Structures are given as structure tokens and as C-alpha cells.
Amino acid sequence: MENAFYIVEFLGLLFVWVMGLLAFVAVVLFIIDRTQTGDAVRRNYPVIGRFRHIFSELGEFFRQYFFAMDREEMPFNRAQREWVARAAAGKSNTISFGSTRNINVTGTPIFVNDPYPPLDDQFSASEALQIGPTARTPCNAPSFFNLSGMSFGALSRPAVQALSRGCKEAGIWMNTGEGGLSPYHLEGGCDIVFQIGTAKYGVRDKDGNLSDEKLREVAAHENVRMFELKLAQGAKPGKGGILPGEKVTEEIAAIRGIQVGESSLSPNRHREISNNDELLDMISHIREVTGKPVGIKLVVGSPDHTRQLFEAISKRGPNAAPDFITIDGGEGGTGAAPMPLMDLVGMTIREALPRVADLRAEFGLSDRIRLIASGKLINPGDVAWALAAGADFIVSARGFMFSLGCIQALKCSKNTCPTGITTHNPRFQKGLVPDSKYKKVAHYAKGIVKEVEVIAHSVGVSEPRKLRRHHVRLVLDSGRSEGMNLIYPEAG
């Protein structure tokens, strides 16, 4: 009994001490809030006003778990993310009791099922497609679905390691992003597309100019199959890459050729390229130096600008053409960017892709230039639509981030990613184990290919690259659907 009395007395004193401490903290916060001049809510409602900021910060996380419906959330809704999660886990994506998708939304693609589709023994897998027939070492790309550009620096070491190994397992290529080639890209053994951004990280001299010597060093790696000259990306058309200083470690600085701890800000364009002729000169130069296919990545602002590019190619002849064009949608992407650029600049991939495919056909370059589509294409229906619209390949960045375990925390640029994907903080990185995550990357890529094949067979073709615009109908404002081949007449 005596011991119980002392315990009760101790707990009582502890309670008084805690309450006193809380009261003291509240008084201090009251004084701070009442006297500060930066926040009107906290000044008028001391202490209590702080909860507004807390709830605003936590709201974006609570919405995806408790309040948003399966198809409501942006930039990717729960249904999209869960499809990737099931595919990455190697699980079936078969569902029951009907679709949760509202198919009356304008622009929704509806695939035209064939009344007499091919039998099971009449299906076939897509064959490898050659890119860069005029290069000394063309690339034969086996998969129509591949990994889009994400830099080491924007991504963590274990994330790049898992992606590299997963891409090898799935037989797809990996784009380095503009941050240069790291050992972690190479260690998995997959095919690599080396991206040359406006700062030319990894292939620049001490003055920041393009170095032929370093181009040759990169091209000497057998796994580096192609080079992509990045003009723009969907997250920020007209603005260069942004890597915050807190993510520029010694290793990343050495690979990029920049200073440790300083923010890495790329120019908004290549200084050597101010018109289409200079662009074609640069493409030809890199192809000659490296001996490998060279393409460009762009965001379409106006079809007129793209037509001018094709006219410039036509004047020089097909040998001067880029070997591929990656079209990134203006819907925003993985990169850190000012909100107006992410929200409002550049055509969406849904409009840009068929327009560029039509221009390619008009100028007779369909067999010379491969089209690669990028921009929120993370599920089978999106990929199948892009193939029907005119793409030869589709690349995804955020789909593969979800396969690694991304929870859409929207903290990519802050070095505090809770899943270890976009942070260089060892505390968070330890949660991402490449030995297990690479399997999820491979499962996701294979899952996409398998289900796009299912769509292709349903519409009556033997493999996905035979999808055409007449196999898709698009929902109009009226609620009715119209054949995509009528909205965008079939490309040649």
C-alpha cells in the first residue's frame, strides 16, 4: 500500500509538472505569436492559429488515405497508384464488380473491341525496333515501354541501383537524366540512354562546354546505347534543371563537375543552340563523335514550331534528322519546378503526340525518326493509347517511382523523402533495399507490357505496335465518343 501511495503521489507530481511546462510553453508561444508581424492569423489568434498551418501541411497526406475517392486525387489518384503497386508486387490486377472510372470525362479513351479477336495461338510479342540506322552502332530496342530520365542526385543511390537492376531484369532501357553517368547506372547491366542536359553534366569541360573527349568516354561503355539531347522537360519547359544544394554531395558534385553543397541550376537552353539549324548541327556532331544514335527531348508549345523543325530536316535530308524525338507532356513531371511552368506551360501529351506523329508522316520520316511518348503514362490504358496515337516507345518516370514504393509525399525536392527514393539522407535511404526493390521494378515493366498486349488482342491485333487510331474512341464534351482517327486523321 505504501508503495502504491508513492506511485500515485509521483504520478500526481509528474502531471502537475507536465501541465506547468505546457502552460509555460503556451505563454511563450502566445507572446511570440502576438508580437510577430508576419502571420496575421497567428497574431490575431495566438497559439490556436498555429493549428491552421499544421492541418494544411498534413491535409495533403490525410486526403489520400481518408477523404479522396479512388479517382479524385492529383497528380495520380489511388486507383492508378494501386495498379502499379499490385503489378510491382507481381500480383494479379483482376478486379470485380465493375469499374470505378467515370468514362464520361472528356478525352477518355475507349478501345474498340473486335467481335472476332485473334485466338490464343495467334498472339505474338512485339519485336525489337531499330533506332538510328545511320549511326555506326544502331540500337535495337526490344521493349516498347522503358524508364524515363531521372538523374542520380534527384534520385538516391539505392533508387538508381534498384532501377538499373530492374531494367536489366525486364529487358528495358534506363535513361540517366541530365545528372551524368554514375557507377550505379552501370552496375545493373541494362541498356542506357545518356541524357545531355543544358549544363552538360558528365560530358562538360572545366568551362561548362561540351567535351568531345568526355563524350567518347561515355560512349565507350557498351551499355550506353543512345544519347538524348534534352531541350525541355514537362515539369518546366523553358527552364533548366534544379537540384537543391543540400542534395549536392561530394559524389554527385564529382559526377556532375560542380561544387559540393551548391544548388545545381542548369541554363534554360543550350547556349550553342538558338535555332533549328544549330540543333541539327549539334545532333550530327554528337552522333559523329559517339557513333551512337542521338535524339532530342522536347515539350511541344505550338505545332508551328515543330513543323519548322521538320522543314529544316527536310532541307538537309533524312541523314540530318534526330534518330528519335521524345515528346514530354506539359502536365509536369518528376523535376522540381515553379508552379506556373508545371501547371500552365506546354501542350499535354494527349494533344502533342498525334500532332507530331502526323508531321512525321507528312514529311516521310516515319521509318527514320522514332517517336517516344512521355507524360503521366503509367498504366496500361495510357500506354496503349500512346501506341495507337503514333508512338513507337513510351517512357515513364513516376510509374517506376511508384514501383519503388513512392507514396506521393510531394517532398521530392526537399531531401526528406520518407521512402528513400529522392533523398541523400542515410536515415531515409535505409528503407529502400535494392536487392528486393529491383524485382518490383521488373514486375511493373512486365505487367505493363502484358496488359497492353491484352488490350491489343481485345481490339483485334496480334501485338501492341499494331494498334492504330481507329482502334480508339475519345469521349467528347457531349458525352458521346468519336473515333480518334476522325479527330486526328490516321497518320501514314
Total number of residues shown for the chain? 492
Q: For residue 467, is it within any domain?
A: yes
Q: What is the pLDDT of residue 59?
A: 60
The per-residue pLDDT string of the chain (492 residues; one tens digit each, 9 = 90 and over) reads 556 666 767 677 777 888 888 888 888 888 888 888 766 567 777 887 777 666 665 665 665 555 555 555 666 667 787 878 888 888 887 766 667 777 778 888 999 999 988 887 778 788 899 999 999 999 999 999 999 999 888 888 999 999 999 999 999 999 999 989 999 999 999 999 999 999 999 999 888 899 999 999 999 999 999 999 999 876 556 566 677 777 788 888 888 877 887 777 788 888 999 999 999 999 999 999 999 999 999 999 888 999 999 999 999 999 999 999 999 987 766 566 666 666 667 788 999 999 999 999 999 999 999 999 998 898 999 999 999 999 999 999 988 988 988 877 776 767 777 888 888 888 888 888 899 899 999 999 999 999 999 999 999 999 999 999 999 999 999 989 999 999 998 755
User: Are residues 164 and 191 in contact, defined by beta-carbon separation less than 8 angstroms?
Assistant: no
Shared-domain flag, residues 239 and 380: yes
Q: What is the pLDDT of residue 74?
A: 64
Residue in 124, 131, 129, 123 with CA at minimum distance from that of residue 142: 129
Q: What is the pLDDT of residue 268?
A: 83
Shared-domain flag, residues 163 and 300: yes
Residue in 168, 209, 182, 154 with CA at minimum distance from that of residue 417: 154
How buried is 331 (Cβ within 10 angstroms: 0-12 exposed, 13-18 middle, 19+ buried)? buried
User: Are residues 234 and 301 in contact, defined by beta-carbon separation less than 8 angstroms?
Assistant: no
Shared-domain flag, residues 348 and 286: yes
Residue in 469, 404, 233 with CA at minimum distance from that of residue 332: 233
**Overall number of domains in the chain:** 2
Shared-domain flag, residues 20 and 139: no
Q: For residue 257, is it within any domain?
A: yes
Shared-domain flag, residues 56 and 127: no
Q: What is the pLDDT of residue 367?
A: 94
Q: Angle at which helices 276-290 and 303-316 pack, to 10 degrees?
A: 60
Shared-domain flag, residues 63 and 125: no
Interatomic CA distance for residues 128 and 171, integer angstroms: 11
Q: What is the DSSP string of 332-377?
A: --SS---HHHHHHSS--HHHHHHHHHHHHHHTT-TTTSEEEEESS-
Interatomic CA distance for residues 98 and 45, integer angstroms: 49
Interatomic CA distance for residues 383 and 366, integer angstroms: 19
Q: For residue 148, is it within any domain?
A: yes
Interatomic CA distance for residues 9 and 182, integer angstroms: 62
Q: Which structural domain range is residue 42 located in?
A: 2-67
Count CA atoms within 13 Å of residue 104 on its CB side. 2
23, 51, 67: which is the final residue of a domain? 67
Interatomic CA distance for residues 136 and 426, integer angstroms: 43
67, 91, 110: which is the final residue of a domain? 67
Q: What is the pLDDT of residue 447?
A: 95
Q: What is the pLDDT of residue 289?
A: 98
Q: For residue 459, is it within any domain?
A: yes
- For the record, the C-alpha cell of 492 comes out as 501514314
Q: For residue 477, is it within any domain?
A: yes
Shared-domain flag, residues 51 and 148: no
Shared-domain flag, residues 169 and 20: no
Shared-domain flag, residues 249 and 161: yes
Shared-domain flag, residues 179 and 279: yes
Neighbour count for residue 196 (Cβ, 10 Å): 26
Neighbour count for residue 62 (Cβ, 10 Å): 11
- Kindly give the pairing relationship between strand 264-265 and strand 109-111: unpaired
Instruction: For residue 110, list its beta bridge partners.
Output: 473
Q: For residue 258, is it within any domain?
A: yes
Instruction: For residue 194, list its beta bridge partners.
Output: 227
Instruction: Give the helix/strand (H/E) hosting 25.
Output: helix 2-35
CATH number at residue 320: 3.20.20.70
Amino acid at 327: I
Q: For residue 362, is it within any domain?
A: yes
Q: What is the pLDDT of residue 195?
A: 97
Q: For residue 109, is it within any domain?
A: no
Interatomic CA distance for residues 447 and 177, integer angstroms: 24
